[in-house]
Amino acid sequence: MDAQTVVADLQALADPSRAEHSARFFKTGPGQYGEGDVFMGLTVPNTRIVARRYRDLPRADVDELLTSPIHEVRLCGVVILTEQFKKLKTSPDRIDAFDYYVGAVQAGFINNWDLIDVSAPTFGTLLVDQGRVASSNASGERLLRKLAVAESMWERRLAVLLTFAFIRANQFELTLAMADMLLGDKQDLMHKAMGWMLREVGKRDADVLRDYLAAHIRELPRTTLRYAIEKFDERERKAWLAR
């Protein structure tokens, strides 16, 4: 069991026509957010099947997957790392895996929205758990604020998506704080991430979402607003958009 075997299994499922479509979908052209990324042409379900097969892959081999130039190989590495994190029981092991994961984002290896989205909500549970055993989750908030002002869009998206774990625990403050910090972000992918998380808040407490929208309606990017209000009825959606 090693990284080369994982890559070989992924290559066996490659589809050149899908690879061309994926390259367009993930904006790999010059100046686009995925510039230079390389695709094999795998579906996400097939990538997950391979990842489950190698869920006990040693860290050194996971590292080799994450540093691959091929998108699906990195995705497979991220899924393996995420599944391994779910099984960890002790706090030191979970912290080590979390730090390794965040470091991989900061190093530019976990560097696209799907790689962040498939993993961050799970890794965010560490921050939620730390908040439960301490008097506050101040250390988690410091990390999120640091990520939210990073030059890398993927670090900023990580800051937003890590808060999904807090939303699932019905704790909305950090999500709203990240939204406040990122209101002026220029990237459409960030507008979508912010809107998605606000929508998740609204699914659990619509009044919290309404209060936030009312306070920030003039500042919210249009895409963020549209995503945030998707679960409202048509009449209410139109009313918010008209404002």
Give the other-Cβ count within 10 Å of 151's Cβ: 6
CB-CB contact of 126 with 95 (8 Å): yes
What domains lie within the chain, and their CATH numbers?
A: 1-87 (1.25.10.90), 110-243 (1.25.10.90)
Task: Provide the pLDDT for residue 1.
Answer: 76
Note the pLDDT of residue 219: 92
pLDDT for residue 138: 54
> Alpha-carbon distance 79 to 75, whole Å?
6
Distance CA 15, CA 155 (A): 30
Q: Concatenated DSSP letters for 115-159?
A: HHHTTHHHHHHHHHHHHHHSS--HHHHHHHHHHHT-SSHHHHHHH
Distance from C-alpha of 56 to C-alpha of 60, rounded to nearest angstrom: 12
79 neighbors 118 (Cβ within 8 angstroms)? yes
3-state class (DSSP) for residue 38: strand
Residue 51: what residue type? A
- What's the N-to-C CA distance of the chain in angstroms? 57
Say if residue 92 is exposed, middle or buried (CB neighbours under 10 Å; 0-12, 13-18, 19+).
exposed
DSSP secondary structure code for residue 31 in this structure: T
DSSP 172: -
List the pLDDT tens digit at each of the 243 positions of the chain: 789 999 999 999 999 999 999 999 988 889 889 888 999 999 999 999 999 999 999 999 999 999 999 999 999 999 999 999 999 988 889 999 999 999 999 999 999 999 999 999 999 999 998 765 443 455 788 899 999 999 999 999 999 999 999 999 999 999 999 999 999 999 999 999 999 999 999 999 999 999 999 999 999 999 999 999 999 999 999 999 998
For residue 232, which phi and psi values (nearest 5 degrees)? Answer: -75, 160
- Token couple for 110: 């976990």
- Give the three-state DSSP class for 182: coil
Distance CA 91, CA 101 (A): 15
DSSP letters, 70-106, are BHHHHHHHHHHHHHHHHH--SHHHHHHHHHHHHHHHH
Instruction: Check residue 102 and give its pLDDT.
Output: 95
Distance of alpha carbon 95 from alpha carbon 219, whole angstroms: 36
Name residue, tokens 């306070």: 215
